[in-house]
Amino acid sequence: MKTERELIDQILEKIESSKDFNSETDLKILKYLVGAYIENRTVKEIDIAKNIFGRDDSFNPMDDSVVRSHMYSLRKQLKIFNISEGADEPIKLVVPKGHYRVEIIDKAKKDEKKSHLINTALLILPLLLVLSISYTIYLQSENSELNNRLTRFNIEDEFHPIWTDFVESELPTILVLGNYFVLKKKSNNEEKSILIRDTRINSSEDFKKYLKKNPSPDFDLVEAPVSYLGVEAPYVVSHLTREFRGARNQLSFKLASELSWEDIQKNNIVFVGSVKTLGILDYYFNFLRFKYSIFPHNIYYTPNLKDTSEVILLDANHQGKFHDDYTVVAKGPGHHNNTIMLITSFSSFGKTEPIKKLVSRTFQNDLIESELIDKEMPKYFEMLIKVNGIERSGFNLEVMHFHNIDSTKFAVPTNTSETTN
């Protein structure tokens, strides 16, 4: 009977001559990981970067995704090999998602467990058969739609240059939805009240400033205990939850008004909402090339992070007519080993249309063809997207500006609540 080392050598030799392994680099990574397994060494991303790709100590995985891209390719090729040329091998090699190690799976032991489960299942097979027959008609009617959904959602093994970092992160991710600030007008009837949405007041801080300027308003106003989401919220949740299928940590949700600095320190953050609903996340605009003003609706472009070179005026009175919206999309590092991503605009279609692009598997190639990036999407970036639409429907979309984000200069600690809480 062959030893584990002999079986490993045997399968490596077969992989080396396999038609399914067409990348010498991926093969080198696999052999490196196998060597680490045999020597019981822990491998980090920087170890692969230095030993396989010749990077030096200045290698920054935040700015260079070469290792992660090849790890995805390696997993995919191993999966194909294991179900084809390696199907009859007594062991199989697996590289778990989110890790830089190889696992050796003994198929014989796995088959023993399967056999035990099958024997157990045989005992309850008659009951299952009865239930299955009674359910057949329903399943047949739903089968077509179910298959369509499974096909649409089957994205677990696909590498995505934007979302895979979140999916494989050891930190959980919060999807933060921008919610609008609402006031309540006191009524003579204590059981009734009138809710008011003033577009000039978008936070408790704005409300305090308003009261300071208007110490004696015509009627009493207080902060309402309720708020509401933009019409894009269900669409956003539907599309982004698909990207997090198979994530190491379950995606959670929070309203922007409920978000705390402690949440930001302990989680990855993905914000989607109007610029009026950013809340404390507005802090991160200090480090972006794109700025905004609410009154008037303007976008300011500062390519050198200092001087404004372009001012984009948006039509705030666009009810019922075509108009342009501009979406700021930014993904940068927090200073707690987490990632912060912002997707924000003024109109609802300024979120829904860019989301379609951001989850698309062709978006990276679109940026390459537009000469906005060279070879691959950087890990951290910011971009300005122009979207044309009406009401809730967007049509034409164009990426106007795209920049890498310097991880050493983004979200630099200051004396704000972000660092003290």
* Torsion (CA) 206, 287, 268, 377 in degrees, nearest 10: 140
Phi, psi of 5 (to 5 degrees): -60, -40
Helices (H), 172-278: 204-213, 233-243, 261-266
The answer to whether the Cα torsion of 47, 53, 55, 59 is positive or negative is negative
Nearest to 306 by CA among 291, 327, 292, 326: 291
CA distances from 134 to 68, 123, 131, 180, 207 (A): 48, 19, 5, 49, 60
pTM of model > 0.75: no
Nearest to 77 by CA among 142, 16, 152: 16
pLDDT digits (tens, 9 = 90+) for 154-190: 434 457 889 988 888 888 999 999 998 888 877 666 5
17 CB neighbour count, 10 Å cutoff: 8
| CA pair distance 81, 133, nearest whole angstrom | 37
Interior/surface letters 390-418, b for 16+ CB within 10 angstroms, e for the rest: eeeebeebebbbbbebebeebbeeeeeeb
Q: Is the pLDDT of residue 396 over 90?
A: no
How long is the chain? 421
Q: Is the pLDDT of residue 11 over 50?
A: yes
Q: For residue 419, what are its two tokens? A: 């660092």
- Residue ranges per structural domain of the chain: 4-109, 169-176+233-420, 182-226
pLDDT digits (tens, 9 = 90+) for 138-152: 434 444 444 444 444
Helices (H), 244-329: 261-266
pLDDT digits (tens, 9 = 90+) for 260-316: 999 999 999 999 999 999 999 999 999 999 999 888 888 999 888 777 778 888 876
> How much is the pLDDT for 139?
38
Out of 1-10, 35-44, 120-129, which region has the weakest mean confidence (pLDDT)? 120-129
CATH architecture of 4-109: Orthogonal Bundle (1.10)
The mean pLDDT of 207-232, rounded to a whole number, is: 81
| CA pair distance 48, 67, nearest whole angstrom | 7
| CA pair distance 99, 57, nearest whole angstrom | 21
> How much is the pLDDT for 192?
67
Phi, psi of 51 (to 5 degrees): -85, -25
The mean pLDDT of 395-414, rounded to a whole number, is: 84
